[in-house]
Amino acid sequence: MFEIEKLIRENIKALKPYSSARDEFKEFTANMVFLDANENPFENGVNRYPDPQQIAVKTALSKLKEIPLSQILLGNGSDEVLDLIYRAFCEPKTDNVITLPPTYGMYKVLANINNVEEREVLLTDKFQPNVKEILNVADRYSKILFLCSPNNPTGNSFSNESVEILLKSFPGLVVIDEAYIDFSSEISWLQRLDEFPNLIITQTLSKAYGMAGIRLGICYASLEIIAVLNKIKPPYNVNELTQQRALRRILTKNKVQKEVDKILEQREKLIQKLKSVAFVEEIYPTDANFILIKVDDASKRYEQLLNKGIVIRNRTTQPLCENTLRLTVGTTSENIKLIKALNEL
């Protein structure tokens, strides 16, 4: 039996959260006079503190994803959401988390910041989770397993079968980072959130939604997990401008889908063109808005492209990624420039 209470840090269980002016008074009506939060009373659009519970944004997301409001938490980017998860569940110097390199670098950075041991279990040569080894390495202090699917920087999705075994057998929380889910041919694990009390899914407006600049990360989990995270989040962690822009974007989902469709179309074209570049040795399958390729000499090719004004990501120092480059799919004209430059080398 999974019990969330056993995973929460003692100090967090005992914590009495800060109660902001906006927490204590919520029944807004038009003609009320607000003299409770020491704000400047002169209206300029942002003179008031933002809604600490971001109800408008969450309501839109709740309708879109068919997940109750009480199972959604928003953060200042997914990076804040991930940090909150560490702080709620991982006792520094005692607990550990498991990551599966090559993967997103923030899981490790956050482990170091929070002084939490990070155990690494390499992906297989097909870039899939090594289920047996993960369960081997896990112990009763293993609080979080990070599964990034589609994975950055490899681009592939993890097999549903492996993820399901891990969800059922891992003793702690399983975070599935779905930053790239809107580009994927696989469906989101959100559909199955209610089946797994230890499942946390993170998504973001930074990639498919085209809003990296506003910083909005989304966390979906059980009511109990969301309640713990809510207790420790900074009261006004998502600012007013972000809430406004995010709401507008979420409500124009068709525009987002059109851009995603274009990016996917461009991704296929890029893959075709990359096949005829002489020094490209391998193009890895991708479910994301980027392509990982293996070349003859990644550092050399990276420098050469930089000299032509094109910035890509050299991933050669990552495990299993020797001589690989990660290419983000750009606009049609950007991709043409990239292919032209590659062919000139």
Residue ranges that bind ligand PLP, judged by CB under 6 A:
77-79, 104, 148, 152, 177, 179, 204, 206-207, 212, 217
Based on CB atoms, which residue is closest to ligand PLP, 19 or 317? 317
Beta pairing partners, 202: 177, 219
Residues 6+ apart with CB under 8 A from 172: 7, 89, 138, 142, 143, 144, 145, 198
In which region does residue 136 sit, left (phi positive, over 0), alpha (psi from -120 to 50) or beta (all else)?
A: alpha
Based on CB atoms, which residue is closest to ligand PLP, 54 or 152? 152
Minimum distance from CB of 178 to ligand PLP (Å)?
Answer: 8
Minimum distance from CB of 207 to ligand PLP (Å)?
Answer: 6
Based on CB atoms, which residue is closest to ligand PLP, 96 or 152? 152
Based on CB atoms, which residue is closest to ligand PLP, 101 or 217? 217
Task: Please report how many Cα atoms fall inside a 13 Å half-sphere around the Cα of residue 332, on the Cβ side.
Answer: 4
The three-class DSSP label of residue 204 is: strand
What is the maximum alpha-carbon separation in the chain?
A: 69
Q: Which long-range contacts (CB under 8 A, 24 or more apart) does 2-5 make?
A: 2/197, 2/198, 4/197, 4/198, 4/222, 4/224, 4/225, 4/228
Q: Are strands 142-148 and 117-120 parallel, antiparallel or unpaired?
A: unpaired
Which of 286, 265, 264 has its CA nearest to residue 157?
A: 286
Based on CB atoms, which residue is closest to ligand PLP, 22 or 209? 209
Minimum distance from CB of 242 to ligand PLP (Å)?
Answer: 12
48: its two tokens: 């008031």
Minimum distance from CB of 80 to ligand PLP (Å)?
Answer: 7
Based on CB atoms, which residue is closest to ligand PLP, 20 or 328? 328
Based on CB atoms, which residue is closest to ligand PLP, 79 or 95? 79
**Rounded-to-integer distance, Cα 95 and Cα 139, Å:** 9
Minimum distance from CB of 323 to ligand PLP (Å)?
Answer: 21
Based on CB atoms, which residue is closest to ligand PLP, 104 or 302? 104
Minimum distance from CB of 37 to ligand PLP (Å)?
Answer: 28
Neighbours of 128 (CB within 10 A): 19
Cis peptide, bond prior to residue 101, ω within 30 of zero: no
Which helix (DSSP H) or strand (DSSP E) does residue 62 occupy? helix 55-65
Minimum distance from CB of 219 to ligand PLP (Å)?
Answer: 10
Minimum distance from CB of 148 to ligand PLP (Å)?
Answer: 5
Based on CB atoms, which residue is closest to ligand PLP, 103 or 222? 103
Report helix angle 332-344 to 253-274, nearest 10.
20
Minimum distance from CB of 103 to ligand PLP (Å)?
Answer: 7
- Residue number, nearest CB to ligand PLP: 77
